[in-house]
Amino acid sequence: MNNIMTIDLEDWYQDVDFKNWKNYEDRILQNTNKLLSLLDEANVQATFFVLGYNAERFPELIENICDKNHEVAMHGYDHTPLFMQTPQKLENDIRKTLKILKHITNDEIIGYRAPWFSVVKETFWAIDILKKYFEYDSSIYPTRTPLYGIPKAPRFPFRFSLSDPTKMGAKGLLEFPPATYEIPIFKRKIPVAGGFYLRLFPCSFSKYFIEIINENQQPAVCYLHPWEIDPQQPKIRSYKWWHYYNLNKTEKTFKRVLDNFTFVSIKDYLASEHIENIECINDLW
Ligand SMILES: [Zn+2]
């Protein structure tokens, strides 16, 4: 059973501060190289959702990611969430970042993940634009949190088709929702197996959540940031506690997850699975 591993390629301060990035120490090279070694050891190729800003500053890192046969996809230029953008700004952001990434990789970029999983009801205008540029998206978290989520969205890969098929194309946009667990009886979906949630739960829980998803014959879409395996990163006291929570345990959990399941990139998943059978839905609300 193939699961999906994704990495959101950000440095620690890009989650801490929206604007003053030049004031902080860069740790992305050492952390990503460490992450690449862990993926190498487990023989896993992942999808890297890359910020244009980081690709511009560290093109050799992106080349290294490509050389190891990982997929390079897009995470926007500077991590501005969609709720702080307009349709025009988003198109500019996508065009600018695509140019940077294509120049380095010499390849098509077919996937997108919105910063902060910010494809939500208020920003749903973005879907038309994403469909124009990408084959798939991985931004809809089928849960409810204070920051993001569309609780009624399917938990497993789906296509979303708007009522006007001429706008979306006959098939709609392919969506890869991050892994969730549905609590029996309550039917409430909770995020699992990615980022903070991978750090929050004991490793045995993360394994159990992925097993349950695989029992449904579905892939678990997992994600991690390079800074999450870096407990030595600077501490900013005013910053949210969950950024720093359990950083010293992530590497061990990540290794165990990699050792216990099979993971591929989204691009490789699309090439190997029967995606024509993926459910197409019209209504997420
Ligand atoms: Zn991000």
pLDDT for the residue 162: 64
User: What three-state secondary structure class fits 60?
Assistant: helix
Would the pLDDT of 145 be above 90?
no
Would the pLDDT of 71 be above 60?
yes
Q: Which domain holds residue 57?
A: 2-281
Tens of pLDDT along 178-228?
999 999 888 889 998 889 999 999 989 999 999 999 999 999 999 999 999
Whole-structure pTM value: 0.95
Q: Calculate mean pLDDT across residues 270-276.
A: 86
Q: Calculate mean pLDDT across residues 61-81.
A: 97
Q: Which long-range contacts (CB under 8 A, 24 or more apart) does 234-241 make?
A: 234/12, 234/24, 234/25, 236/16, 239/16
pLDDT for the residue 179: 96
| Residue 48 contacts residue 138 (beta carbons within 8 Å) | no
Q: What are phi and psi of 13, to 5 degrees?
A: -75, -15
pLDDT for the residue 164: 58
Would the pLDDT of 32 be above 80?
yes
Would the pLDDT of 263 be above 90?
yes
Q: How many domains would you assign to the chain?
A: 1
Distance 74 CA to ligand 1 centre (A): 10
Distance 8 CA to ligand 1 centre (A): 6
Distance in angstroms (rounded) separating the CA atoms of residues 238 and 112: 31
Write the CATH number for 265: 3.20.20.370
Angle at 41 between CA 37 and CA 42, to 5 degrees: 120
Distance 140 CA to ligand 1 centre (A): 13
Distance 272 CA to ligand 1 centre (A): 27
Distance 102 CA to ligand 1 centre (A): 20
Distance 117 CA to ligand 1 centre (A): 8
